[in-house]
Structure 1
Amino acid sequence: MSRALILHLGLLAVLLAGNVLLPAYHHGNMARIMVLAVYAMGYNIAFGYTGLLSLGHAMFFAAGMYGMGLAIRLADAGALPAMLTGLAAGAGLSLVVGLLALRTAGVSFMIVTLMFSQACYLAILYFGEWTRGDEGFVIQAVDRTLFGIDLSDPGNRYIAAWLLFSAVLLLTLRLVRRPAGRVFVAIRENEERARLLGYDTFRAKLSALVISGTISAAGGAAYGLLFGYAGASFAGVQYSIFPLLWVLLGGAGTVVGPLLGTLFMFYLIDLSSGFTEAYMLIAGLVLIGLTLFAPQGIAGELRRRLWKGLP
C-alpha cells in the first residue's frame, strides 16, 4: 500500500470519527463542508489538473441539484432515481458545454463558460413555474429517504456525506495516478507539446470537463438531498467563484487541497462573522496574506516543503 493511499485513508478515518466526536454545531458544518468539497474536487479536475479555468461551474452544481430536486418534486421519484437524474443532468450538460466551449481557450474559455452558466441561471428564473425561481423549493423530509434510511437525520446525513466524499476522493486519487490523469497534467503544463506527442488533447480536455461536471453535479444533488433545499442562488456567479477560491486556497492540482480550502474558507467566514459585520473584509485580508505567503495553497506548500510526492 502506497504512502499516498495510507495518507488519504487516514484522512477518511479522521472524518469518520468526527461523526461521533464532533459537537452538534461542528457536526452539521462538517457534513456541509464534505459535500461542498466534492464540488471543489470536481472543479479541481478541470482547473487544478487540466488547466481549464472555468467561471461557470455553478451550472453543473445546479444541474445536479435541480435534476435531483425536480425529479422528486415533479415526477415523485425516489431518492436514488433522483440522484441518478441529477448525475445524468450534470454529465449531459458538461458534454454539451464542453463540445462548444472547448473550441476556445484561455480568456475566451472563461467568458464562454460564464455565459453558459448565466444562461442556466436565467433559465431557472424563467421557468419559475417548475423551479420556483429565485425562491427555490424545499425537499420534504419524507422524500429524503434512501434504502429506508432517513437522510434528514444528522447522523445519517453525516455518514452519507462522508461516503460520497470518500468515493470521490479515492476516485480522484486513482484517476490522477493513471495514464489519463497524467495526460491531463501534460495538457495543463504544455498543451502543444502534449499534442506533438500524439495525444488527442481535445478529447482529453472534453473527458476532463465531463468528469469534472459530473462530480460537481454529484455534489449539487447531494447538497439538495441532504439539506433539503434547491434554489437559484446556487447557480449564481458566486457559486462559480467559490470552488475556484477553495481550490486555490487548498492547493490546485492536489487531491486533498479542495477539502482543506473549503474547510479553511468556511470557518474563516464563520469565525469572522462572529466578531464583526465586516467579516468579508477580514476574510479578504487573510486570503490576500495566504496568497502572498503560500501561493501554491495549503496542500501545495506541504508538497513543496515536506513531501514532493504528495498527489
Structure 2
Amino acid sequence: MNDATKTLILHGGLLVLLFALQFVLPAYHHGNLARIMVLASYAIGFNVLFGYTGLLSLGHALFFAAGMYGMGLAVRHFGLSPAPALICGVLVGLAVSAIAGLLALRTVGVGFMIVTLMFAQAGYLTVLYFGEYTRGDEGFVIQQAERILWGLDLSDPTNRYFAAFCLFALCLLLTLWLVRAPFGKVLVAIRENEERARMLGYDVFAHKLAAVVVSGTLSAAAGAVYGLLFGYVGASFASVQYSIFPLLWVLLGGAGTVLGPFIGTLFMFYLIDLSSGVTTAYMLIAGVVLVALTLFAPQGLAGEVRKRLWRGLP
C-alpha cells in the first residue's frame, strides 16, 4: 500500500468517524466535539504558518477575533443574515492577515514573534476601546433568531455539530491538498533552509506572505463560525490566552502534520476537562502532563507516529 492510499484511508477514515459519532455520542460529548472541531480548525490555520512555514506567531488571536468580530458586528449592527456575515468575517480576517503579514515579515526570528504579539495586543485593546460597539469585556450574544442559516437553526445541537464538521473537513482537506502541492513543498523548503530556497529562485517573501494570509484566513473562518455556532462574541477571544492555545495544541499534536492540530486540541480539551473534575488545581495536572509529553514526545503525538511508524505521514 503506497503513501497516497494510506493518507486517503487515514484522513478519510477520521472524517467518516466524526460524521458517525454525531449519531451515538451523549449530549455532553456531542457538544464538546463540536467545539473541538471548530477550535481544531483554528489550530490548523496556525499550523500552516508554524508547522509548515516555520514562522512562530504569538498573536494568532488577532485573526481568530477578526473573523469573530467581523461576523458578529455585521449581524449586530448591520442586520446581516449568517451567510453574508460569515463572508464578512472571513474577508476581515483576510485583510487583517495581509496587513499584519506585510508589516511583520519585515522582521525575522524573535522579532517576528514580538511584532505579532504586539499586533494581537493592539487588536485586543481596540476591542476594549470601542466598547460602545463591541461591548468590551462583556461581549454580546447573538440571538437564536439571528443564527438561522439557509433555514437551519444553528443553535440546534445536531445542526451545530454538522456545521462544525463541515468547517473542520474543509480546513483538513484544504491543508492536506496544500501541503502536497508545490506551494506547500516550497513552504517546507523555507522552513528547513530559507537561504537555500532563495538561492533556488523562489520568492521567499511572497510565499511567506501567502502563508500568513492562508493561515490568518483559516483562523478567521474558525473564529466567525465559533461565534455563530455558540452565539457569543467577546474580548477574551482576542486575548493572549487564545494566541497561546493553538501553539499548545499544535505542539502537543505534532507541528507540521495535518492531523496534529486535531489530536492536540482533543487531547488538551479533555485533559483540562477531566482534571477539573478531580481537583481545583487542574492546571497543575495539565502542566505536569504537558511537561512529560514535551520530554518524552518532543515531536508531538502525530510527530512521534511519523518518526517511529510512518515516515510518509503528511
The corresponding residue for 2:19 is: 16
Q: Select the residue among 170, 175, 179 that pairs with 1:172.
A: 175
Give secondary structure in 2 for the equivalent of 1:35: helix
Q: Deviations over 1:32-78 (max 9, x none)?
A: 00000000000000000000100000000000000000000000000
Instruction: Verify: 1:59 aligned to 2:65, yes or no.
Output: no
One-letter amino acid of the counterpart of residue 304, structure 2: E
Displacement of 1:114 in angstroms is 0.3
Q: Select the residue among 145, 149, 161 that pairs with 2:148.
A: 145
Distance between the aligned counterparts of 2:180 and 2:190, measured in 1?
Answer: 15
Distance between the aligned counterparts of 1:80 and 1:126, measured in 2?
Answer: 28
Distance between the aligned counterparts of 2:93 and 2:173, measured in 1?
Answer: 20
Instruction: Verify: 1:121 aligned to 2:141, yes or no.
Output: no
Distance between the aligned counterparts of 1:305 and 1:31, measured in 2?
Answer: 31
Percent sequence identity is 72
Displacement of 1:178 in angstroms is 0.2
Displacement of 1:245 in angstroms is 0.2
One-letter amino acid of the counterpart of residue 176, structure 1: V
One-letter amino acid of the counterpart of residue 257, structure 2: T
Q: Deviations over 1:150-177 (max 9, x none)?
A: 0000000000000110011000000000
Runs of 4+ in 1 over 6 A off after TM superposition: none
Give secondary structure in 2 for the equivalent of 1:21: coil
Q: Select the residue among 267, 291, 294 that pairs with 1:291.
A: 294
Instruction: Verify: 1:130 aligned to 2:97, yes or no.
Output: no
Q: Select the residue among 224, 228, 233 that pairs with 1:230.
A: 233
Distance between the aligned counterparts of 2:96 and 2:123, measured in 1?
Answer: 10
One-letter amino acid of the counterpart of residue 122, structure 1: L
Distance between the aligned counterparts of 1:21 and 1:260, measured in 2?
Answer: 20
Distance between the aligned counterparts of 2:112 and 2:10, measured in 1?
Answer: 35
The corresponding residue for 2:253 is: 250
The corresponding residue for 2:203 is: 200
Distance between the aligned counterparts of 2:61 and 2:245, measured in 1?
Answer: 9
The corresponding residue for 1:301 is: 304
Q: Select the residue among 80, 89, 93 that pairs with 1:90.
A: 93
One-letter amino acid of the counterpart of residue 117, structure 2: L
The corresponding residue for 2:224 is: 221
Displacement of 1:2 in angstroms is 2.5
Q: Deviations over 1:8-41 (max 9, x none)?
A: 0100000011100111000000000000000000
The corresponding residue for 1:76 is: 79
One-letter amino acid of the counterpart of residue 69, structure 1: G
- Give the TM-score normalised by structure 1: 0.99
Give secondary structure in 2 for the equivalent of 1:110: helix
One-letter amino acid of the counterpart of residue 14, structure 2: L
Distance between the aligned counterparts of 2:159 and 2:184, measured in 1?
Answer: 33
The corresponding residue for 1:184 is: 187
Give secondary structure in 1 for the equivalent of 2:13: helix
One-letter amino acid of the counterpart of residue 35, structure 2: R
The alignment yields a C-alpha RMSD, in angstroms, of 0.6
Q: Select the residue among 244, 268, 273 that pairs with 1:270.
A: 273
One-letter amino acid of the counterpart of residue 48, structure 2: I
Distance between the aligned counterparts of 1:222 and 1:305, measured in 2?
Answer: 36
One-letter amino acid of the counterpart of residue 132, structure 1: R
Q: Deviations over 1:105-136 (max 9, x none)?
A: 10000000000000000000000010000100
Give secondary structure in 2 for the equivalent of 1:135: coil
Q: Deviations over 1:206-241 (max 9, x none)?
A: 000000000000100000000000000000001000
Distance between the aligned counterparts of 1:130 and 1:187, measured in 2?
Answer: 41
Give secondary structure in 1 for the equivalent of 2:267: helix
Give secondary structure in 1 for the equivalent of 2:23: helix
Distance between the aligned counterparts of 1:6 and 1:180, measured in 2?
Answer: 24
Instruction: Verify: 1:28 aligned to 2:31, yes or no.
Output: yes
Distance between the aligned counterparts of 1:229 and 1:116, measured in 2?
Answer: 23
